């Protein structure tokens, strides 16, 4: 009996390890010529743009191939030269063949974005809760919007309900939807305002969004609109990131997170993962954004799908 328990425990450990969250060692970018990577040393795939690298990966370059790697823990950049074979370890890069040289360090902004790719394990564990019949509405605590990123989202509590969103003095009536996520375009305003969401059925209020507790104090949910110098700084930072890592980059999504632009971050991550399905290991950082946005239904659904895909 004891032996059977040990075998089952080992099996469960192996199963959980197959999809357990792990963090990237670095990101490969600005590739030139022939550059390939492998996850298991068997199947090699061409790198066409950015590629997040995890411990156990290998990278190789052709006669005219090269690429740069930003290391998450140190913030340092390294260049892999032609005809190289490089092992990715938890401590960084180890060359089996060819040369690795240190190049200009990442700027403070870039290094800060890489640092955010940590603790992915915490986004792949969801607490099971008993289903409650009582309708409850929850939403992101603080959110930043801008002219190019004007959307708010929240978890749909049921297709039979519609909503009333109030931002400052402006009210939006939001029709019922079958979608699991309610998404609404917001008109520009100035500064930071509190917001409230009411859930309605047949025109009657069922429940309102309640203030949240932070450090023992009750606080209202708030939304901020970027304009002026803050808007210019946003545009400049995105431009700098795109010059280094390309237009559709996970790094842009990470920057949006730092600005509390959670909806923009979600859209950026989802687009990247759709276009780069082989970067499935990065999906837990999308789950982090779902949790911030309180999108519990889509989070649980996609988490189970991700776990299954990692096993396969």
pTM of the entire predicted model = 0.89
Of 87, 107, 127, the residue that ends a domain is 107
Q: Please tell me whether residues 163 and 304 are part of one structural domain.
A: yes
Contacts (Cβ under 8 Å, ≥6 apart) of 79: 66, 67, 68, 69, 100, 101, 102, 103
Task: Tell me whether residue 13 is in a domain.
Answer: no
Give CA–CA dist 210/221, Å, rounded.
9
Pull the structure tokens for residue 74.
Answer: 């140190």
Q: Please tell me whether residues 164 and 312 are part of one structural domain.
A: yes
Q: Please tell me whether residues 102 and 127 are part of one structural domain.
A: no
Q: Please tell me whether residues 220 and 298 are part of one structural domain.
A: yes
The domain that holds 264 is classified in CATH as: 2.60.40.10
Q: Which residues in the chain show pLDDT less than 70?
A: 1-21, 127-133
Q: Please tell me whether residues 87 and 155 are part of one structural domain.
A: no
Q: Outline where DSSP puts E strands in 135-208.
A: 142-145, 151-155, 162-167, 170-174, 181-185, 191-201, 204-208
Task: Tell me whether residue 3 is in a domain.
Answer: no
> Domain range holding 274?
119-312
Task: Tell me whether residue 149 is in a domain.
Answer: yes
Of 80, 107, 134, the residue that ends a domain is 107
Of 83, 107, 131, the residue that ends a domain is 107
- Structural domain total, the chain: 2
Q: Please tell me whether residues 166 and 83 are part of one structural domain.
A: no
Task: Tell me whether residue 172 is in a domain.
Answer: yes
Q: What is the pLDDT of residues 57-95, one digit of tens each?
A: 999 999 999 999 999 998 899 999 999 999 999 999 999
Give CA–CA dist 48/121, Å, rounded.
28
pLDDT score recorded for residue 4: 37
Asked if residue 34 lies in contact with residue 138, where contact means CB atoms within 8 angstroms, the answer is no
Alpha carbon 274 to its chain's center: 13
Q: Which residue has the tokens 């469960």?
A: 12
25 CB-contact burial (10 Å; exposed 0-12 / middle 13-18 / buried 19+): buried
Q: Please tell me whether residues 125 and 253 are part of one structural domain.
A: yes
pLDDT score recorded for residue 68: 96
Task: Tell me whether residue 11 is in a domain.
Answer: no
Task: Tell me whether residue 299 is in a domain.
Answer: yes
Q: What is the pLDDT of residues 259-302, one digit of tens each?
A: 999 999 999 999 999 999 999 999 999 999 999 999 999 999 99
**CA separation, residue 74 to residues 98, 111, 285 (Å):** 22, 8, 20
């Amino acid at each position: 009996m004891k032996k059977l328990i040990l075998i089952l425990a080992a099996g469960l450990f192996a199963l959980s390890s197959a999809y357990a969250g792990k963090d990237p060692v670095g990101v490969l970018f600005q590739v030139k010529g022939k550059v390939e990577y492998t996850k298991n040393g068997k199947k090699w795939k061409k790198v066409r743009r950015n590629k997040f690298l995890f411990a156990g990966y290998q990278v190789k370059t052709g006669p005219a191939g090269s690429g740069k790697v930003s290391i998450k823990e140190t913030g340092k950049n390294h260049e892999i030269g032609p005809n190289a074979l490089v092992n990715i370890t938890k401590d960084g890069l180890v060359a089996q063949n060819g040369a690795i040289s240190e190049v200009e360090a990442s700027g403070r902004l870039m290094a800060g974005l890489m640092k955010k790719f940590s603790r992915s394990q915490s986004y792949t564990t969801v607490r099971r809760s008993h289903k409650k019949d009582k309708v409850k509405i929850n939403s992101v605590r603080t959110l930043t919007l801008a002219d190019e990123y004007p959307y708010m989202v929240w978890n749909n509590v049921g297709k039979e309900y519609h909503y009333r969103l109030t931002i400052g003095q402006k009210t939006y009536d939001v029709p019922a939807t079958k979608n699991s996520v309610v998404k609404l375009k917001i008109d520009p305003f100035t500064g930071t305002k509190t917001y409230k969401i009411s859930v309605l059925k047949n025109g009657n209020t069922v429940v309102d969004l309640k203030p949240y507790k932070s450090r023992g104090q009750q606080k209202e949910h708030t939304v901020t609109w970027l304009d002026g110098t803050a808007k210019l700084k946003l545009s400049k930072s995105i431009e700098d990131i795109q010059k280094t890592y390309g237009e559709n980059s996970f790094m842009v999504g990470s920057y949006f997170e730092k600005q509390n632009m959670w909806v923009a971050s979600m859209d950026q991550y989802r687009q990247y993962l759709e276009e780069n399905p082989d970067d499935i290991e990065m999906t837990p950082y999308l789950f982090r954004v779902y949790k911030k946005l309180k999108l519990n239904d889509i989070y649980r659904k996609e988490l189970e799908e991700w776990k299954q895909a990692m096993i396969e």
